[in-house]
Structure 1
Amino acid sequence: MLLNIESLKGCAVAASDGEIGLVEELYFDDEAWGIRYLVVKTGNWIDGRHVLISPYSVIRAEPAALSVHVDLTRQQVSDSPPIDTHKPVSRQYEAEYSRYYGYPAYWGGPDVWGVSSYPAYSRAALSAVSPQTCAQLALSGDKLPGDSHLRSTDAVDGYHFAAADGDIGHVSGFIFDDEAWTIRYLTVDTQNGWPSREALLTMEWISLIDWFDSTVSTALTRDAIKNSPAYDSRIPLVRDFETRLYAFYGKAGYWSDERVALRLEGRGGVASAAP
Structure 2
Amino acid sequence: MANVKLHRLRQLQRFTLCAADGEIGKVEEVYFDDSNWSVRYLVVNTGGWLMGRRVLISPVAVGELDEQAHTLYIELSQEQIENSPPLGADQPVSRQYEQEYLRYYGWPPYWQSDPFSAAQPSFDPHRPLPPFYDTWREGKRDNHLRSSDQVSGYRLDAEDGEFGHVADFVIDDQYWKVRYLEIDTRNWWPGKHVLLNPAWIERVHWLEKSVTVDLCKEDILTAPAYDPKAVISRDYEIKLLEHYARRKYWE
Report the TM-score when normalising by structure 1.
0.78
CA displacement at 1:63 relative to structure 2: 4.5
Once the two structures are superposed, residues 63-83 of structure 1 have per-residue CA deviations (whole angstroms, 9 ceiling, x without a partner) of: 542321111111101111111
Q: Counterpart in 2 of 1:130?
A: none
Q: Which has the higher helix share?
A: 1
**Does residue 1:33 correspond to 2:75, yes or no?**
no
Q: Does 1:66 align with 2:73?
A: no
Q: Report what 1:207 is aligned to.
A: 202
Q: Take 1:227 and 1:16, find their aligned partners in 2: how far apart are those partners?
A: 47
Residue ranges of structure 1 left out of the alignment (5+ in a row): 119-144, 257-275
Give, in whole Å, the separation in 1 of the partners of 2:246 and 2:47.
46
Aligned-partner Cα distance in 2 for 1:54–1:72: 11
CA–CA distance in structure 2, aligned partners of residues 22 and 147 of structure 1:
28
Distance in 1, Cα, partners of 2:101 & 2:19: 18
Aligned residues of 2:116 and 2:175 also touching (Cα < 8 A): no
| 2-structure distance, mates of 1:3, 1:45 | 26
1:146-193 CA-partner distances (Å, limit 9, x unpaired): 512111112211111110100001111111100010000011111344
2:26 pairs, out of 17, 22, 29, with: 22
RMSD (Å) for aligned C-alpha atoms: 1.8
Deviations, residues 208-255 of structure 1 (Å, cap 9, x unaligned): 111111111101001111111111112100111111111111121101
Q: Is this contact kept in 1: 2:39–2:177, CA < 8 A?
A: yes
In the TM superposition, 1:91-102 aligns within 5 A as 91-102=95-106
Residue 108 in 1 paired to residue 112 in 2? Answer: yes
The SS at the match of 2:149 is helix
Equivalent position of 1:12 in the other structure: 16
Contact 2:6–2:232 under 8 Å retained in 1: yes
Alignment of 1:135-174 (within 5 A): 146-174=141-169
Q: C-alpha deviations, 1:25-58, integer Å up to 9, x for none?
A: 1111111111111111114443331110111111
What is the percent sequence identity of the aligned residues?
A: 44
Tell me the residue number matched to 2:119.
Answer: 117
Distance 1:47 1:189, change over 3 A: closer
Q: 1:49 to 1:195 in 2, by over 3 A?
A: closer
Number of residue pairs aligned between Structure 1 and Structure 2: 228
Structure 1's 27 and 71: CA in aligned 2 closer, same or farther, altered over 3 A?
Answer: same
CA distance in 2, matches of 1:198, 1:47: 37
Q: Is the 2:155–2:164 Cα contact (8 Å) retained in structure 1?
A: yes
Give, in whole Å, the separation in 2 of the partners of 1:196 and 1:86.
Answer: 34
Structure 2 residue aligned with 1:54, among 54, 58, 71? Answer: 58
Instruction: Summarize deviations over 1:94-151 as a string: whole Å, max 9, x none.
Output: 1111111111221114x5x474438xxxxxxxxxxxxxxxxxxxxxxxxxx8512111
The code of the aligned residue for 1:14 comes to C
Counterpart Cα distance in 1 of 2:224 and 2:216: 15
Provide structure 2 residue ranges, at least 5 long, that are not aligned to the other structure: 121-139
- Structure 1 stretches of at least 4 aligned residues deviating more than 4 Å after TM superposition: none
- Structure 1 partner of 2:124: none
Q: Which residue does the alignment assign to 1:176?
A: 171
Given that 1:104 and 1:114 are in contact with CA atoms closer than 8 Å, whether structure 2 keeps it comes out as no
Does structure 1 residue 244 correspond to structure 2 residue 239?
Answer: yes
